[in-house]
Copies of this chain bind each other. A is one copy, B any other.
């Protein structure tokens, strides 16, 4: 499908391609008369600038590549929408890559963006710290949701340790002692949440009750972890899941096993995704400021674009505990 070129537009308007170029980019120093002629010619031809050629010549793409670790995670979708809003405000174009919930998928997506020579890359929920450091050698990179980083990688994330502490404090205040954790494996922020869980347990003198089941930020992972937890004796009276998806899987396994939440066991999630507000879920969870994260990610990236060597900056947002009805005091019989 042959597309009209700038040259064709120039001929039709009876001007040079340079002038067309100026008009297309909205340059100020063009006579109204010719501007109109060019615009008319472009319109008649259905001309559409070839971004590839434009960028080859100008060495900028005006495009940011956003790699989403997992399209299925509603939290990432929410972050994506907030990044999009921030980018829209400053006229930056966004292209997305599918991390396929794997380090390999993420690396592939990054490589694609690098080959497309995007101006910068935002990694949402990156699972692999090494590859992002690698990517940062060839482009501006900012990571959302993970605090580990290298020299040149800016980050925007919620204070996961504090978030985890909020969750555990809440459960302890309700009277729980046997509080287990479904972790998030190598998911973004997972190690901080697990670390926060451990710290809080120790702080409350509950170090002996630390119990962690392996999850992976997915519903299936949460289900599997919950099944393990169900087998523990004595059974935990509360579970802090590393994210909402895990919490939802955990809730499913508990319900299937005939346990009532919160009567038999309390449950706390992380992310405050839309689903958790539904009345039949009503999950107590930790809210992340996705609007701030999205805005910060774009801000950091733009700043780095013209300050390549500046030291890495880190935005840290504040978590808030959202108490719903999945948490209650432990059952009386559980000493």
Contacts and interface: CB of A to CB of B under 8 A. Distances in A.
Interface of A: 1, 3, 46, 48-53, 55-56, 61, 71-72, 74, 77-78, 80-81, 84, 93-98, 100, 111-112, 114-117, 137-140, 219, 248-249, 251-252, 255-256, 274-275, 278-281, 308
B112 A278 contact: no
B96 A97 contact: yes
Going nearest first, the 8 A-B pairs with the smallest beta carbon separation are A96-B96, A71-B77, A51-B115, A255-B279, A252-B278, A52-B52, A256-B279, A255-B280
A13 B80 CA distance: 43
A308 B1 CA distance: 8
A140 B52 CA distance: 18
17 contacts: A1-B137, A1-B138, A3-B138, A46-B138, A48-B138, A50-B117, A51-B115, A52-B52, A72-B78, A72-B81, A72-B274, A77-B77, A84-B100, A95-B112, A96-B98, A249-B278, A252-B279
Contacts of A117: 3, 50-52
A72 B275 CA distance: 11
A50 to B, nearest CB: 6
B139 A1 contact: yes
Nearest to A84: B98
A51 B118 CA distance: 11
Contact of A97 (B56, B95, B280): B95
Nearest to A139: B1
Copy number in the complex reads 2
A241 to B, nearest CB: 14
A96 B249 CA distance: 28
Contacts of A71: 71, 77, 80-81
A98 B112 contact: no
Contacts of A81: 71-72, 98, 100
Contacts of A248: 275, 278
Contact of A274 (B48, B55, B219, B278): B219
Nearest to A61: B52
Nearest to A277: B252
Interface centre among A49, A74, A248, A280 (most CB of B within 10 A): A280
A57 to B, nearest CB: 10
A219 B277 CA distance: 11
Contacts of A1: 137-140, 308
Contacts of A51: 115-117
A101 B265 CA distance: 38
A287 to B, nearest CB: 17
A111 B51 CA distance: 11
